[in-house]
Chains A and B, each alone.
Chain A
Amino acid sequence: MSRSGIGALCLLAFSAAALAAAPAKAPDAAKPPAKVEAGKVTVVSVSGPAQKLIAAKGKDKWEAVKAGEELPENTIIRTGLRAKVVLKFEDRVEVTVKSGSQMGVSEFRKAGAASKVRMGLKYGRVRTTIRREKGPSDLRIATAVATLSVRGSGCDSGFGSSGLIVKSFASDWNLQYGTHRRTVRQGEKHKDPKKLGILATQQDNDPGMLDPFGSTNTEKNKYLHWKGASGFLGGGMNPSGFKGIIPGKKPAKLVIPTPTPTPPAVQPVPTPVPIPDPVPDPDPPPNGNGHDYQ
């Protein structure tokens, strides 16, 4: 038999196998979409003074955080000096709230293998570790100036008077401020006030001091008109600006979203939890220093 004959036989065999397998896949295609379920946030460990405020209770009463307890959505945690709280979002995410921090968990949902986590960081530091092997995770950490979203699996982030500083220790993370986007690569630390203006928030309202070459008029206008955004508890960024902690101005008051009635354990949704597309990286980096900006 010639080579072309053998090739034709192989092609026929593969086609027959594919046709035979097709009916077996039909039930999978008709499978209903994954159901969204509320996940459980567990306190793994607590050291030092730490308190929680559960917004769903409708009381402005802070209580001590205890190891082993479960936290509902819309819970705010604050730590004191020499304190640390470790939270576990089931088998997906582990968050370490370090000393002198205040953060909130606004949402934790699961849909099949996918998970969705929304957190806010008012001040302080958190370390986030994501187990990507368990499934795709849509995790976002909102601060008053920017939103950090997952692309990788681990990063340290801190928000204080120097602005937001992010260091990725595993894979890449996306950082978004308004229309600006930036990818923080593994082992890299975000520190570029001129491009994003994140570190500018606490620099005495003097954008001209940010870099030796000054800022463009567009950048100055952006720095001086940050207002109107909410950055806590998953509020994300409002492209129109910033409402937050600028020296000399009254900072934004922590706003907790009105708690909705407890959702049923299972909610039908037409589609699974959306996982954001990775931000395309410009190639090559425009400034040639290994950073990519959009």
Chain B
Amino acid sequence: MVALAALALPAWTGGCSGTGTVEAPKAELVAGEGSPGFLDRMSSQTEVSENDAMRGILMLLDGSDTAKTFADRVSALRQRGVVANHWDCKAARPIARGRLAYMLYQACKVPGGVVLTLTGPSGRYCLRELQYCGIMDSGSMFGSVTGLQYVTALTRADVYMETGKVPETMNPVGGR
């Protein structure tokens, strides 16, 4: 039983278990990039790296990204609880859908359902919650996120933080 639980744990946490290491901590991004340019650059990419994804989350929270390196971004987001302390972070690795959902869920402070309330945030249930809210598109938690999906999710989250709902013309389920 214990072995089964140990096997299931990585899946439960969205494959995000780790020791909290940061790979390529000095990785930098374009300096002085505002959110219009960032969204434009992201919209044309086939995948979104963890470094870029965290820049977008910081822009969502603060309006701009003042961190200079990847390690700074991870540190800033860990302090706010947006990035879990046990995550192993790699700057160039494509962000998984579950991880992005976790970060957006924490950033937007979405009121979760029963499972999230009882067990705390996890990639799997944050993704399901955000799909229910209309912030994220359907898909597996282990899959990567395209640039346009990322831009759309970030925009939806931005509007959600302002108004508490996702605009109908951006909602994958057509609005509720």
Chain A contacts to B: CB under 8 angstroms: 49-51, 62, 78-83, 98-102, 122-125, 156-158, 160-162, 165-167, 189, 191, 202-204, 245, 247-251, 253-254
The answer to the question of B79 belonging to the interface, with a C-beta cut-off of 8 Å to chain A, is: no
Q: Which residues of B contact A162 (CB under 8 A)?
A: 137, 152, 170-172
With contacts A99-B158, A249-B46, A250-B46 taken as known, whether A160 is within 8 angstroms of B36 at the C-beta atoms is: no
Interface of B: prevailing SS: helix
In the complex, the answer to whether A62 meets B36 with C-beta atoms within 8 Å is: yes
Residues of B near A249 (CB, < 8 A) are 46
Which of B6-14, B70-78, B85-93, B161-169 touches A?
B161-169
Query: Contact at A158–B44, with CB atoms within 8 Å?
Result: no
Number of A-B contacts (CB under 8 A): 121
A217 to B168, CA, bound (A): 31
Is B43 in contact with chain A by the CB < 8 A criterion? Answer: yes
Cβ contacts under 8 Å, A50 to chain B: 36
Q: If A99-B159, A248-B46 touch, does A123 touch B152 (CB 8 Å cutoff)?
A: yes
Decide: B168 and A100 in contact? CB cutoff 8 A. no
Whether B155 lies near A100 (C-beta < 8 A) is yes
Chain A residues whose CB sits within 8 angstroms of the CB of B154 once the complex forms: 81, 100
Q: Contact partner of A251 among B148, B169, B174, CB < 8 A?
A: B148
The 0/1 profile, CB within 8 Å of A marked 1, for residues 84-117 of chain B is 0000000000000000000000000000000000
8 A-B contacts, Cβ less than 8 Å apart? A79-B36, A80-B38, A100-B39, A161-B146, A167-B168, A167-B169, A251-B46, A254-B44
Q: B interface vs A, CB < 8 Å?
A: 34-40, 43-44, 46, 59-60, 63, 137-139, 146-149, 151-156, 158-159, 162, 167-172, 174-175
For B63, list chain A residues within 8 Å (CB).
81-82
Quick check: A123 and B168 within 8 Å, CB to CB?
no
Query: Separation in Å of the A209 CB from the closest CB of chain B?
Result: 8
Q: Cα distance A122–B172 when bound, in Å?
A: 17
CB distance from A24 to the nearest CB of B (A): 51
Closest to A123 in B: B43
- Known contacts: A162-B152, A189-B174. The answer to whether A80 contacts B39 by CB under 8 A is yes
- In Å, the complex CA distance between A165 and B37 comes to 24
Measured CA separation A102–B36 after assembly (Å): 8
B140, closest chain A residue (CB)? A204
Q: How far apart are the CA atoms of A265 and B111 in the complex, in Å?
A: 57
* Closest B residue, CB atoms, query A76: B40
| Complex Cα–Cα for A81 and B33 (A) | 13
Chain A contacts of B38 at CB under 8 A?
A: 80
In the bound complex, residues from chain A placing their C-beta under 8 Å from that of B155 are 81, 99-101, 124-125, 160
CB-based contact B169/A156 at 8 Å:
yes
Residues of B within 8 A of A167 (CB): 168-169
Q: Which residue of A lies closest to B172 (CB)?
A: A162
Q: Are B169 and A51 in contact (CB under 8 A)?
A: no
Neighbouring A residues of B37 by C-beta, 8 Å: 51, 62, 78
Is the CB–CB distance between A125 and B137 below 8 Å?
Answer: no
Expressed in whole angstroms, the minimum distance between the Cβ of A23 and any Cβ of chain B is 55
Give chain A nearest CB distance to B117 CB in angstroms. Answer: 28
A119 to chain B, nearest CB (A): 16
User: Are the C-beta atoms of B35 and A49 separated by less than 8 Å?
Assistant: yes
CB pair B36–A125 under 8 Å, yes or no, is: no
Q: Would A123 and B148 be within 8 Å (CB), given that A49-B34, A165-B170, A250-B46 are in contact?
A: yes
- Which residues on A sit within 8 Å (CB–CB) of B36? 49-51, 62, 78-80, 83, 102
Q: A81-B59, A250-B46 are in contact. Are A165 and B139 (CB under 8 A)?
A: no
